[in-house]
Amino acid sequence: MKYIIGLICFTLLSIALSHCGGKKEEQNKSPESYQVENSPQKDADIQRYNLEIRKKNTPVRFPGDTIAIIEYVLNNYPEGTYLMSFDKTLTYNVPKPALIYINQEGNQYALGVIARSKPGERLIESKNIIGYDQSNIDLDSTKLGTAFFYLSLFQIIDNQIITLWEAPIPSHGGLNSISMNRWAYNGTPYVDINFHYAQGIGHIDYNYFLINGLTSFPHLLMTYKGINFKRTIANVNNDKYPDYMEYLYIDNGIKVIERDSIPFVWSARDSVYINTRNKKQTRPY
């Protein structure tokens, strides 16, 4: 009898442990498997659901509007690609989409900032790549997903959208805003994409000059400004390409003093910016 009772107890204990182990294993799996950032299909389903809600709540629409471009990116770009928005200026305001609409000779265009997730990593999230604090993402980008930013030119023809070109933006986080400006020297239009730079307590501007018109691939010039660093757009050699001035500072921890400024000019032959005082020092943008 004791043998039978012991066997029954052992069997029940084994079943209980096996059941608990199964639950524990499932609990360990479920948080990872159900996270949207690790499931492109679930992410796309949520995006489509949200789009349908926006369509129902937007009574007045036009060809190539924000909803249409978001849907176009969702349907035609690799998984984990999103249209970006401006950084919030106030805590509770609705951020503006990172889009600039242009009507040129009767043709409708839209310049937009999009971000793609790096294949093999978790999907990026807007909250991790937009804003001042998010400009530190380069220090820990793999845990939050690595974002690749692009400036894209869309053309709207009737109710169809096509991509004319995409220019890489050499940053992974900290997007602030996008605006259209003109070069004071000759009036060339350029797109200024402003990123926060928390590590240097300042900002970086990626300026895409439309040297050969809107539909041609743009020319990139990077400028920036912070406590002890600055680069500004300049005209040094009177050609169609923008140049820049690099400012050097002395920072002793108590005060910052501007020491010098060095002109860099664009070499169309070598496709680099060249230091006019040291030809061996070049910069890609």
pLDDT digits (tens, 9 = 90+) for 157-195: 998 999 999 999 999 999 999 999 999 999 999 999 999
Structure tokens at 115: 């971000």
Total-model pTM? 0.85
**Is 281 within a domain?**
no
DSSP 246-275: EEEEEE-SS-EEEEEEEEEEEETTTTEEEE
Structure tokens at 228: 């002890």
Q: What is the pLDDT of residue 90?
A: 65
Phi, psi of 113, deg, nearest 5: -100, 120
Dist. CA 129–CA 151, nearest whole Å: 15
Structure tokens at 237: 């050699």
Confidence grade of residue 3 (pLDDT, cut at 50, 70, 90): very low
Confidence grade of residue 34 (pLDDT, cut at 50, 70, 90): low
Nearest to 86 by CA among 175, 158, 168: 175
CB atoms within 10 A of CB 241: 17
How far lies 83's CA from each of 87, 119, 181, in Å?
13, 18, 21
Confidence grade of residue 253 (pLDDT, cut at 50, 70, 90): confident
Confidence grade of residue 7 (pLDDT, cut at 50, 70, 90): very low
**Is 170 within a domain?**
yes
**Is 242 within a domain?**
no
pLDDT score of 226 more than 50: yes
CB atoms within 10 A of CB 272: 15
Dist. CA 191–CA 111, nearest whole Å: 9
**Is 71 within a domain?**
yes
**Is 134 within a domain?**
yes
Half-sphere CA count of 3, side-chain side, radius 13 A: 0
Confidence grade of residue 252 (pLDDT, cut at 50, 70, 90): confident
Between helix 66-76 and helix 40-56 the angle, nearest 10°, is 160
Nearest to 69 by CA among 189, 202, 163, 179: 163
Total domain count, the chain: 1
pLDDT score of 17 more than 50: no
* Mean predicted lDDT score pLDDT of the chain: 87
Dist. CA 278–CA 133, nearest whole Å: 36
**Is 183 within a domain?**
no
Q: What is the pLDDT of residue 139?
A: 63
How far lies 102's CA from each of 108, 129, 155, 202, 273, in Å?
6, 26, 9, 30, 30
Query: What is the sign of the dihedral through the CA atoms of 184, 185, 188 and 193?
Result: negative
Q: What is the pLDDT of residue 49?
A: 95
Mean per-residue pLDDT, 33-52: 82
Better-scored residue on pLDDT, 18 or 38 = 38
Share of the chain above pLDDT 90, in %: 72
Confidence grade of residue 140 (pLDDT, cut at 50, 70, 90): low
Adjacent-strand bridge partners of 264: 244, 275
**Is 63 within a domain?**
yes
Residue type, 58: T
Residues 154 and 162: beta-carbon distance below 8 Å: yes
Where in the sequence is the domain holding 53, given as residue range(s)?
37-174
**Is 265 within a domain?**
no
pLDDT score of 115 more than 60: yes
Share of the chain above pLDDT 70, in %: 84
Mean per-residue pLDDT, 84-104: 87
